[in-house]
């Protein structure tokens, strides 16, 4: 939400559905999180009902558009939304509508520091990295 706006109830799937219906405008991206959001809206049977008030962003995080007032509700993966000036994070989507986007990491054949890259990757998927990742609202990899 924009900073200072009343936070909607998204604690249940029904409350989230009612929030989307009541919203004046909704924005989300065209990337992985946007695809997941569109699929969730379709599962709720709201695609056509929300079409006229939905804005698909291009060229930056949803929270940036939200902070400028381009729409009333912005939906994107948590780690990109939290902490953006001019916005307030409401919370994760309820139930099965909360579908995180996977993150990928790889070692390029052209890496100038392949051992350092391997060490970083090893750490990123270790149990020790999990609390650090969660501090940034990223769920650790599940082997």
Q: Are residues 24 and 93 in the same domain?
A: yes
In a domain, 45, yes or no: yes
- The domain total for the chain is 2
Q: What is the pLDDT of residue 112?
A: 95
Q: Are residues 64 and 85 in the same domain?
A: yes
In a domain, 5, yes or no: no
Which residue's entry shows tokens 């392949």?
A: 114
- Residues 85, 67: contact at Cβ < 8 Å? yes
In a domain, 90, yes or no: yes
Q: Are residues 87 and 38 in the same domain?
A: yes
Nearest 5°: the CA angle 50, 29, 54 is 20
Q: Are residues 24 and 85 in the same domain?
A: yes
Q: Are residues 54 and 69 in the same domain?
A: yes
What predicted TM-score, i.e. pTM, was given to this entire model?
0.81
Give the separation between CA 67 and CA 110, rounded to whole angstroms.
Answer: 39
Q: Are residues 59 and 112 in the same domain?
A: no
Q: Are residues 21 and 49 in the same domain?
A: yes
Q: What is the pLDDT of residue 143?
A: 64
Q: Are residues 38 and 82 in the same domain?
A: yes
Question: What pLDDT tens digit does each residue of the chain (143 aa) get?
Answer: 999 999 999 999 999 999 999 999 999 998 889 999 999 999 999 999 999 999 999 888 999 999 999 999 999 988 888 889 999 999 999 999 998 888 788 999 999 999 999 999 999 989 999 999 888 878 787 76
Could you tell me the residue range of the domain that residue 116 belongs to? 102-143
């Amino acid at each position: 939400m924009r900073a200072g706006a009343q936070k909607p109830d998204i604690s249940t799937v029904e409350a989230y559905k009612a929030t989307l219906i009541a919203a004046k405008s909704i924005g989300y991206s065209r990337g992985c999180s946007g695809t997941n959001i569109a699929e969730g809206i379709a599962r709720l049977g709201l695609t056509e009902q929300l079409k006229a008030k939905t804005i698909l962003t291009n060229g930056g995080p949803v929270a940036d558009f939200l902070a400028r007032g381009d729409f009333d509700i912005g939906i994107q993966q948590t780690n990109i939304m939290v902490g953006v000036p001019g916005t307030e994070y409401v919370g994760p989507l309820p139930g099965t509508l909360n579908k995180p986007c996977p993150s990928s990491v790889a070692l390029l054949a052209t890496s100038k520091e392949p051992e350092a890259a391997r060490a970083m990757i090893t750490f990123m998927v270790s149990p020790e990295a999990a609390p650090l990742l969660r501090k940034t609202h990223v769920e650790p990899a599940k082997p």
